[in-house]
Chain A
């Protein structure tokens, strides 16, 4: 059994093109799509941040990261922090709902039946989100088209569809669900490949069993069984041939089969999800991704940080509750660490055409639904941009005038892909056009 598996592993190429995969286009990277692979990943974390611990200081025109952004120090010269963005979208829904579902759309929510903590009940977003807008733009062009177009990846996202669990929208009333189960993600990307590898590993044993049985049967009965034996042998042979012929540039990640999808396993699951996202991008299956941690009003109990209380409850504690503030700091540091892991993986992966590493061509944007948890403010939304994909000028803090509509940032993002829109979401919030970030 292990011989079969080890054999496949040794080839360094996973059996991605097993015979019963249906309709998967070639994974070959660099063959059809020449030119620079510009990518975008939007990472989300909930419940706001701690402004004093988050925003960097500027000393001698250089940024100095505080405790929360500290894990991102290795990437400082590829980082742009933008302060002053505000989510000014009004309309139905409370701060959290609008913070989440208007974040990437910049447009109002529909009136609906979902009641938040305050304000009027709301429905879904009323227009497309920026990741999907850019995805559509890239998919139109064969040079930038990819198999999936975009991947919505989640970590610990509850299995409900409501304005607190969705931030990506294909259009009005069309939320896209993030996939938070790495095994399902693997299945989506590689079609049950892990399970099929395990199956391939039992074919030896199965063949032996069949031969033993065949010896005990009459000749008429054997006709059928001999055919069966032949089919099993054929399957084994095809799997081996496919493994040799597989053109994956980057082997699919090997997932530990024993990780249960539970709250306490979140750190492991986060790693697996990030690995899968980077791997999918490395194989050019997509150039857009969203990485959603939990959801708006997320109540995760981060026991792996020694924290028993729910995140959202903590975020409502007053500033003077030092214990709560410490815990919130730990939580936000943990998010920053996940971002660092993502950036690190991209940096460590070379582009297949040899031109630099993936981080050079990728833009990661880390945003939050709120500026600060206990005030529910929608001003000074944390905005961290890492990577060389956008062409923005990095290694600095940009201080925008207070109350700059975040729509303008979304326009800038689109423009950086050559998508020359001058407005996104609410028109009256887009009047000043893109931010000048280069």
Chain B
């Protein structure tokens, strides 16, 4: 009502009358709705059993709703509500309950109480231990420190021949270059540094040698158990040793290989790995660093998958398996810590102050696990345990309690129950920062900032976020974001018909996956971190194998394992839209699938809302005439009215990419006909746009607000694990504005999301 008063003063009468007319219009819409629609759709669009039992909710525009109502509603007499009436009804339902904004007002979305996801669980335990042990340095170069020795006899002192950094551990005496004066009858090589696992999962390692070798992981101590102990050779015959182990991404893991050859004719060593989603290959240089890393506390307890029913992973549900897993994780963690207790608690068996130091260690560990200082009560509990048990027994119990405490498992808990409820709780903000950027617990710097209260305004929070983005843990979390956004987790077996696509083998597919990862990382971590480059880049990261398959010339000096961005001969590429991995992932075994490409890009990139098909439909090539092109087949399959509601969005996108075959190769003809990639596409604000190919699609992704908001939403979900409206209706608008202002800088967007959500007022207490 206040609005009208202001307008009366500022504007003329005509606008007033327009507004009054608008109010009338909406009221009219409501009246019509109640008369003609309510019997099937319910008072608030919730639906009516046996009539239409789906809720009237969606993202179509008012114009589109008007069209649908005009053409098809009411069902039994579709001439009844047309033209202006249809428009009135559309407007009414849009604002009353149909649009997401309306829904957010009816059912306010709240921030659910979440537990740590399995990634957060493992990372947190690793980082809690690291906070006492110290961090590994951040690598500035790649490869391993390599030392060559001549040894006269097995046990004699070794003579160092040479020290240098090598890209990957490997050696063959037969084609040895550059290590002069090596004694072929007795020599050894020592590789040392860190492995930088790109993601959390099981890694396999394989050593092939006719000589002796030991492979150590997560330790530099030769007295500890080697992961692979192949020290003893047998008649100089080739032996293969394989072991596997679970590693977590985002951390440098100590790695050391000792290799020796003694009085043996043939000398060689081949060291390979098979990472998750990968194939057997020499460890690529970019995953090695010549640094001295610190041991990492790796929890390999299996966890059940986290709930992903909302389309993104979050810790919103618990189960018996999860409670068993978290118990086992606490047990494993306490065992690891007890094995290094003196080192971590900075004491020793002869220290008279040992028990006191262990007690202090327990207090600090628990406080860091909870994310805030202990209460007097909690300290008392620890004290009591030390009274009742010996120092190790008490420590073990404290650690188990700390890691199964609800304050550890539900990181936001203390903030929601804490009596103080200060407007900006620095400790909660520290916890939030660490979860958002690292999927982990705060490091010592963050903790110090929190204890001094230096985490309460946007400048302080965003400064920390910027710092934290430089850490490998941030790289790991964002790599996982892109995996999810690009649906890479689901698409693993990309193999196609080998007769139609010879050479498209597991090796090439693994290379393409690396290529996509490298491309995305390049854009994300570049100075401008420009979202638009994800679609506007014409270069594809290629190694010699990829270049050969896609008939592209590479710079001469590139060795077999290295990647470089090159423009493909077709000059039509558009970043991720036409990356061969993505195109192949959304294709059938023998041919392209415009529908799959269209659905994926509509939803994940362009932010269109697509319901599942009204009836399950399968694409069977045999249903169609043999001379038809894919476009013709899909058009025929989806021409039905009920299909077209969505396929008028899906098909144009899919068709625009038909110049790329099922393995992403550029082509202009199919079944001896020129390929037609042009169609009309209706945008989410109801404009008709002509798209002719991938570059037009790219322009849509770059210019359409729907696409921007889709990206922001996906990123938000991955980082924060809550729905955007839970932080207020205007949050998406604000983030979108900033995103545009910063020229679509993705890292700045991450900082914005983090800062905005950190400083939203605390969750209301229980009434």
Contact = CB atoms under 8 A, between A and B. Distances in A.
A206 interface: yes
Interface string B106-149: 00001011010000000000000000000000000000000000
A113 B233 contact: yes
B396 A198 contact: yes
A221 B413 CA distance: 9
B2 interface: no
Given A160-B231, A161-B229, A202-B397, A115 B262 contact: yes
Nearest to A260: B349
B212 interface: yes
Given A213-B406, A221-B416, A206 B401 contact: yes
Interface stretch (B320-328, B661-669, B694-702): B320-328
B154 interface: yes
B511 to A, nearest CB: 36
Interface string B337-363: 000000000000100000000000000
B234 A234 contact: no
B232 A206 contact: no
Given A113-B264, A224-B115, A209 B406 contact: yes
Given A113-B261, A198-B396, A202-B404, A213 B113 contact: no
Contacts of B260: 113
Given A113-B263, A115-B154, A218 B765 contact: yes
Interface string A118-133: 0001011000000000
A159 B110 contact: no
Interface stretch (B85-93, B271-279, B386-394): B386-394
Nearest to B113: A221
B330 interface: yes
Interface stretch (A225-233, A271-279, A419-427): A225-233
Contacts of A192: 331
B232 A113 contact: yes
A267 to B, nearest CB: 17
A260 B260 CA distance: 32
Contact of A20 (B324, B385, B396): B324
Contacts of B327: 20, 199, 235
A163 B232 contact: yes
Contacts of B381: 205
Nearest to B342: A260
B396 A257 contact: yes
Given A124-B232, A224-B318, A1 B388 contact: yes
B431 interface: no
A159 B224 contact: yes
Q: Which of B328, B390, B417, B767 has the most CB of A within 10 A?
A: B417
Interface in B408-437: 409-410, 413, 416-417
A115 B212 CA distance: 12
A210 interface: yes
Contacts of B766: 216-219, 221
A217 B349 CA distance: 44
B465 to A, nearest CB: 27
Nearest to A213: B406
Nearest to B261: A113
Given A206-B404, A213-B413, A162 B397 contact: no
B335 interface: yes
Interface in A1-58: 1-2, 19-20
A55 to B, nearest CB: 34
Interface string B134-172: 000000000000000000011100000000000000000
A1 B393 CA distance: 12
A345 interface: no
Nearest to B212: A113
Q: Which of B234, B331, B334, B416 has the most CB of A within 10 A?
A: B234
B244 interface: no
Contacts of B406: 209-210, 213, 225, 228
A391 interface: no
A235 B322 CA distance: 12
Contacts of B400: 198-199, 202
A199 B331 contact: yes
A258 B404 contact: no
Interface string B230-257: 0111111000000000000000000000
Contacts of A163: 232
B562 interface: no
Nearest to A19: B324
A192 B397 CA distance: 15
A219 B110 CA distance: 13
Contact of A112 (B155, B226, B233, B764): B233
A137 B225 CA distance: 31
A234 B327 CA distance: 13
Contacts of B318: 224, 227-228, 231
Interface string A99-129: 0000000000011111100000101100000
A202 B155 CA distance: 50
B381 to A, nearest CB: 8
A231 B320 contact: yes
A380 to B, nearest CB: 29
A318 interface: no
Contacts of B349: 260
B467 interface: no
Interface string B755-766: 000000000111
Contacts of B413: 213, 217
A77 B767 CA distance: 82
Task: Please provide the 9 A-B residue pairs with the shortest distance between their CB atoms, ordered closest to farther.
Answer: A216-B417, A218-B766, A115-B154, A221-B113, A231-B323, A113-B233, A161-B229, A123-B234, A113-B262
7 contacts: A158-B223, A161-B229, A199-B330, A220-B110, A224-B112, A235-B327, A260-B349
Interface of A: 1-2, 19-20, 110-115, 121, 123-124, 158-163, 173, 175, 192, 195-196, 198-199, 201-202, 205-206, 209-210, 213, 216-221, 224-225, 227-228, 231-232, 234-235, 257-258, 260
Given A115-B154, A195-B335, 19 more contacts: A20-B328, A110-B235, A111-B236, A123-B232, A159-B224, A160-B229, A195-B331, A198-B393, A205-B401, A206-B404, A217-B113, A218-B765, A224-B316, A224-B318, A228-B406, A231-B318, A231-B323, A234-B320, A257-B392
Interface of B: 110, 112-113, 115, 153-155, 211-212, 223-226, 229, 231-236, 260-264, 316-320, 323-324, 327-328, 330-331, 334-335, 349, 381, 385, 388, 390, 392-393, 396-397, 400-401, 404-407, 409-410, 413, 416-417, 764-767
